[in-house]
Amino acid sequence: MRDTYHDQLDAIVQDLFQMSQLVARGVTQATAALTRADLALAEQVIEGDDAINALYRGVETQAFDLLARQQPVAGDLRVLVTSLRIVVDLERAGDYVVHLAKIARRRHPASAVPDALRGTVLEMGQTAQQILDKTGTVIATRDLELAAELEVDDDAMDALQKRLFTLVLQDGGQDIEAAIDATLAGRYYERLADHAVAVGHRVTYMVTGEHAEV
């Protein structure tokens, strides 16, 4: 039988995994809300952030309690300290999902995404969802090869953001509001991916004790 202490450590990792899944689902829904001008879906995504924030607070409390009561060393200490960092990245990723949904809500019943940008935004949403699914797997399995892949996935997201900005510029300034929204949305997707990469770095540190470059 496992001891309670290690069960609690596992519970923290499980919560982090669940957060990544909620964010992954959220970004898919927020992208649909954005590209289809779906107000009800946007509201649902915005309300869904409460569950992510509740997990955030739970992980923080549990990790801190274990640090204080068990005084862990070496590997267990790294798991706890790293969890306290990962949970911030995932909570923040959840906030970006909410930001995306809020763009959809603000522009409803109009669509925040002009036709010329829709395909690229859909690709960004799909890429973000895949990255966050992979992040969840990295958290659950501590697979460092998969963690390293997140860097490559992030490059793909950066390229999509560049393409989006190029399309916004080509669109020729008929609609500044759409240009602002697309710029912000592009930035939110890119930041989501950045936080996934950060989680990958932190899991790598958790396993190896070696810091990735900032």
Q: Which residues bind its own copies (CB under 8 A)?
A: 53, 56-57, 60, 64, 67-68, 71, 73-74, 77, 81, 84-85, 88, 91, 165, 168-169, 171-177, 179-180, 183-184, 187, 211, 214
Kindly state the smallest distance separating residue 186's Cβ from its own copies, in Å.
9
Cα(206)–Cα(214) distance, integer angstroms:
16
Up-side HSE of residue 194: CA atoms within 13 Å toward CB?
12
Kindly state the smallest distance separating residue 79's Cβ from its own copies, in Å.
12
Is 32 or 185 the residue whose CB approaches its own copies more closely? 185
**Locate tokens 């706890």: which residue?**
80
Kindly state the smallest distance separating residue 73's Cβ from its own copies, in Å.
6
Residue 149 tokens, joined: 């892949």
Kindly state the smallest distance separating residue 194's Cβ from its own copies, in Å.
10
Is 36 or 187 the residue whose CB approaches its own copies more closely? 187
Kindly state the smallest distance separating residue 145's Cβ from its own copies, in Å.
24
- Torsion 165-171-172-176 (CA) sign: negative
DSSP 41-80: HHHHHHHHHHHHHHHHHHHHHHHHHHHHHH---HHHHHHH
Residues 6+ apart with CB under 8 A from 46: 98, 101, 102, 105
Is 55 or 128 the residue whose CB approaches its own copies more closely? 55
Is 40 or 176 the residue whose CB approaches its own copies more closely? 176
